[in-house]
Amino acid sequence: MPSRRIVLAAGACVVAAIGTGLALYGTRPTGGNAPQAAAPCAGSAEAARRVDAAARGEVAAMQALAEPRPAPALSFKDREGAEIALADLKGKLLLVNLWATWCAPCKAEMPALDRLQGALGGGDFAVVAINVDTRNLDKPPRWLAEAGIARLAFYADPGGRVLPIVQRDTGSPGLPTTMLVDAKGCTLGVMKGPAEWSGEDAKRLIRAALGAGS
């Protein structure tokens, strides 16, 4: 009789072991031929490499991403106060620049951004300059008019939502901060600080991101 109990106990252990194995392995992917989901911005890697190669001279501080990622979800207002999302502007290369009237380097580079928009802006490229002032909201458009900046569309975030999102996404603690976002909505590179955006180095960078010759 004791031997019978031993046999029954051993059989129970085998059943338990099989059940445990099914629990551990039965729900795992089979591997082998299972398709792997592509990263959402995998197709932007070649453009990021071109940006990295073109980040020279006056735009050498542009940090191309080794692995492009979806641009942060940003919402802001246009000149008429209507809500707009960055994703609404997809379909062309975007140079997304955050600026404020209390930021001297920001104001210093705005004329160059305006000239860049005039030189290359169109169906496949646009400068998206987003003002992040949260007080004295009549000041930013007035300053732009006084500075003769007329080619840039006016975008603003008086609610203060955009700046912290971009700071977290880019690791940039201050202003100006600029992101280069491709037509699919993927961030190719980040600039922390100002640049001479209307110079030949900047134009070469934009053309490289577009895949066009210099």
In the chain the domains, ranked by start, together with CATH numbers, are 42-210 (3.40.30.10)
Q: What are phi and psi of 121, to 5 degrees?
A: -65, 145
On the question of pLDDT at 6 being above 90, the answer is no
CB 190 within 8 A of CB 62: yes
Average pLDDT value over all residues in the chain: 87
On the question of pLDDT at 5 being above 80, the answer is no
On the question of pLDDT at 126 being above 90, the answer is yes
Which among 101, 30, 74 has a CA at the least distance from the CA of 181? 74
On the question of pLDDT at 91 being above 80, the answer is yes
pLDDT of residue 2: 45
Average of pLDDT values for 17-31?
Answer: 37
Average of pLDDT values for 85-114?
Answer: 98
- Calculate what percentage of the chain has a pLDDT beyond 70: 81
Q: Give the other-Cβ count within 10 Å of 120's Cβ.
A: 20
Note the pTM of the prediction, 2 decimals.
0.82
Cα–Cα dist 155/177, whole Å:
15
pLDDT band at 214 (very low <50, low <70, confident <90, very high): low
pLDDT of residue 154: 97
Q: Beta strands 186-192 and 177-181: pairing type?
A: antiparallel
pLDDT band at 11 (very low <50, low <70, confident <90, very high): very low
On the question of pLDDT at 33 being above 80, the answer is no
pLDDT of residue 175: 98
Average of pLDDT values for 68-94?
Answer: 97
**Which tokens in the block code for residue 55?**
């980040």
pLDDT of residue 212: 84
Q: Give the other-Cβ count within 10 Å of 167's Cβ.
A: 16
Average of pLDDT values for 59-83?
Answer: 97
